[in-house]
Amino acid sequence: MIKFFDDFERFQKEVQRHSIDVDLKSLLKLDVTFFEKYEKFILISIKDYADNPNNILILSKNYTLIYTAKTYNNYEKIYRVSLRKPYGESTVITLLTLRQVLKNYTSIFEKIRGDMDILDRTLNPEAIEETGRSLRKLTDRVEDLVQLVILLKEREIKEFDTKIIAFDYDMLNAESRYWLERCRSHVYRISSLRTKSEIRNTRELNQTISKLTVIMAFLSIVAIVVSVPGTIGAIFGIPALSNKYFEGNPPLLLWFLIISTTLSIILGYMYWKSLKFSAK
DSSP bridge partners of 59: 42, 64
The DSSP annotation for 124-144 comes to -HHHHHHHHHHHHHHHHHHHH
DSSP-derived letter for residue 51 is S
Each residue's pLDDT, cut to its tens digit, for the chain (280 residues) gives 899 998 999 999 998 888 888 888 888 888 889 999 888 889 999 999 998 999 999 998 888 999 998 888 888 888 889 888 988 999 999 999 999 999 999 999 999 999 999 998 888 989 999 999 999 999 999 999 999 999 998 888 888 988 999 999 999 999 999 999 999 999 888 988 888 888 888 888 888 887 787 777 777 767 766 666 666 666 556 565 555 555 555 666 667 667 777 777 777 677 667 765 544 4
Tell me if residue 94 falls in helix, strand or coil. helix
pLDDT of residue 106: 96
Query: What is the Cα–Cα distance from 166 to 264, expressed in whole angstroms?
Result: 91
DSSP bridge partners of 58: 43, 65
Selection from 42, 40, 24, 19 nearest residue 93 by Cα: 42
pLDDT of residue 100: 94
pLDDT of residue 280: 44
Q: Hey, which bits of the chain come out as E strands?
A: 2-5, 34-37, 42-47, 54-59, 64-67
